[in-house]
Amino acid sequence: MNEIVPVVEMTDIAIGFPGVKALDGVDFRLFQGEVHALMGENGAGKSTLIKALTGVYTIDSGTITVLGAPQQFSTPAESQAAGISTVYQEVNLCTNLTVEENVLLGREPRRRGTIDWKGVRSRTREVLAELHLGHVDPGSLLSSHSIAVQQLIAIARSVEINAKVLILDEPTSSLDADEVNQLFRVIRDLRDRGVAILFVSHFLEQVYEISDRMTVLRNGKLVGEYMTRDLSRMELISRMIGKDMEALAELDHAPARTRAGSAAGLPPFLETSGLGRKGSVSNVDLSIYPGEVVGLAGLLGAGRTEIARLIFGADRADEGSLKIKGDSQKLRSPRTAIDKRIGFCSEDRKEEGLIGDLSVRDNLVLAMQASKGWARRIPRRVQDELVAEYIATLDIRPANPDALIRNLSGGNQQKVLLARWLVTSPELLILDEPTRGIDIGAKTQIQKLVNKLADEGMSILFISSELEEVLRLSDRIAVIKDRAMVAEIKNDDVSVEDVMTVIAGGAQ
């Protein structure tokens, strides 16, 4: 990395939204043939910086220089024309079209103004072969492929335009280890060809594996630019969260708490036996005592979310029984479950949880107002107190009750969603992937909160893809495999390997 001219140079960038200053005086450089990681907590401004570079947002001030030429991007097309290509976390392709169209859409080879479909087919084959995707049929619908393949096809699209800069925004968040390796092989290939790659990920190990250099942001400001090999993980994390590691260490070494519920002989809050639904999950025997955290461990797609939906009444069970505080219940709808004081923080916070165009305050009050009935309006003073309290307890940033949800980062949205349920003081809280896609600081806060809630007597059903997290927090672990519950493990000195063994072979 000599001091050659950077491919991309952003200087003194500022972007603001109503109620949020997303970026403030940030500098960023990206060189040819490097993988550069953009690091920071949620809300640090990573996504905003990327969107500034890709023309989705227009910058309020500052300069962007690409290959030595000053640029003023106001649409993604302009940014792409300058050689910048982006693959987003949610694959931004059209699933209703074929693979080849997605690779070449808008740039199809043409003869006299009409698309040369043979040319499209052969060009797509070439590009797919370069990315070791020769087995993908260019004529198949994009929707028939897994997210991992779709993501690689999105990269194929960038390769096709000979992008000078490739931005990968959380590309690995829904990939398994093999797929990550395949992706990294492609990234290294491209880097060696001289492409400048900007990589954003919450997986520290992956960042250390793939990146050469990193830029750290915090609260919309630049912390610094470092060579990856010169910066230890601890140093990186403390720069990202802006405080030392005590908070994290504390949680890791937290002594196993003795949980009140089962010990004190209280009846379980929730008890299911043989609960199931045709075509969904079967054979769920769960019991959750007050003050207890029960973790659901299992592969993605094993049926974890389906179990949560059954318990919450979002899907109706058609076999088995469910008891709440010893009484048999039929949960016909979430409405009934909420009446029984069950809360469900869904996995997909954008689609199922929050209303992006309302403010933090409105989203918080919504759940409580709904439970009180619309006729009795909650006085503004009470609202303000509540909102202020939760913003403080959960450290929601920005601490502005009137900020619109959609302008908040993922981690902070998650906190608002949590707060929304806490406002209704549930007795059982189902948390489905509450820490996915959020940064380590927010993650720690949420884990701490789960501990605290359980200590206060709440029952918690905790679902996460990160096994360490499940082990760290749960008193008992229910293992889910192939859409059925196969084992229940009491969590004393259980290791990740133990659980993996159960998942791998424990069933028969």
Helix (H, G, I), strand (E, B) or coil at 258: coil
DSSP conformational letter for 359? B
Residues 117 to 146: which contact other proteins by CB under 8 A?
117, 135, 137, 139-141, 143-146
Tokens of 163: 């992008």
| By the rule CB under 8 A, 109 interacts with other proteins | no
CA atoms within 13 A on the CB side of 220: 18
Helix (H, G, I), strand (E, B) or coil at 502: helix
The residue among 331 and 438 lying less far from other proteins, judged by its C-beta, is: 438
Tokens of 339: 């009446």
* Cβ(137)–Cβ(101) below 8 Å: no
The residue among 146 and 273 lying less far from other proteins, judged by its C-beta, is: 146
| By the rule CB under 8 A, 249 interacts with other proteins | no
| By the rule CB under 8 A, 468 interacts with other proteins | yes
Amino acid at site 249: A
The residue among 38 and 367 lying less far from other proteins, judged by its C-beta, is: 38
Contacting other proteins (CB under 8 A), which of 176, 235, 384, 455? 176
DSSP conformational letter for 318? -
The H-or-E segment that residue 473 falls in is helix 467-473
Say if strands 221-227 and 213-218 run parallel, antiparallel, or are unpaired: antiparallel
* Cβ(150)–Cβ(89) below 8 Å: no
Among 169-177, 191-199, 365-373, 409-417, the segment contacting other proteins (CB under 8 A)? 169-177
The residue among 127 and 324 lying less far from other proteins, judged by its C-beta, is: 127
Question: What phi-psi label fits residue 274: left (phi over 0), alpha (psi between -120 and 50 degrees) or beta?
Answer: left
Residues 42 to 81: which contact other proteins by CB under 8 A?
54, 56, 75-77, 79-81
The residue among 14 and 161 lying less far from other proteins, judged by its C-beta, is: 161
Tokens of 215: 């830029």
The residue among 97 and 227 lying less far from other proteins, judged by its C-beta, is: 97
The distance of closest approach from Cβ of residue 311 to other proteins in the complex, given in angstroms and rounded to an integer, is 20
Contacting other proteins (CB under 8 A), which of 1, 5, 94, 256? 94
The distance of closest approach from Cβ of residue 54 to other proteins in the complex, given in angstroms and rounded to an integer, is 8
The residue among 112 and 381 lying less far from other proteins, judged by its C-beta, is: 112
Q: How far is CA 309 from CA 90, 281, 333, 400, in A?
A: 23, 10, 10, 32
The distance of closest approach from Cβ of residue 383 to other proteins in the complex, given in angstroms and rounded to an integer, is 31
A 10 A CB-CB count for 101 gives: 21
| By the rule CB under 8 A, 175 interacts with other proteins | yes
Cis peptide before 398, with omega less than 30 degrees from 0? yes
**Which x/- pattern, by CB under 8 A, does the window 184-223 give for other proteins?**
-------------------xxxx-----------------
| Cα of 41 vs its chain's centroid, Å | 12
The distance of closest approach from Cβ of residue 433 to other proteins in the complex, given in angstroms and rounded to an integer, is 11
| By the rule CB under 8 A, 314 interacts with other proteins | no
Tokens of 217: 């942001």
Interface residues toward other proteins, by CB under 8 A: 54, 56, 75-77, 79-81, 86, 88, 92-97, 101, 105-106, 108, 110, 113-115, 117, 135, 137, 139-141, 143-146, 148-149, 157, 174-180, 203-206, 297-301, 465-468, 496, 500, 503
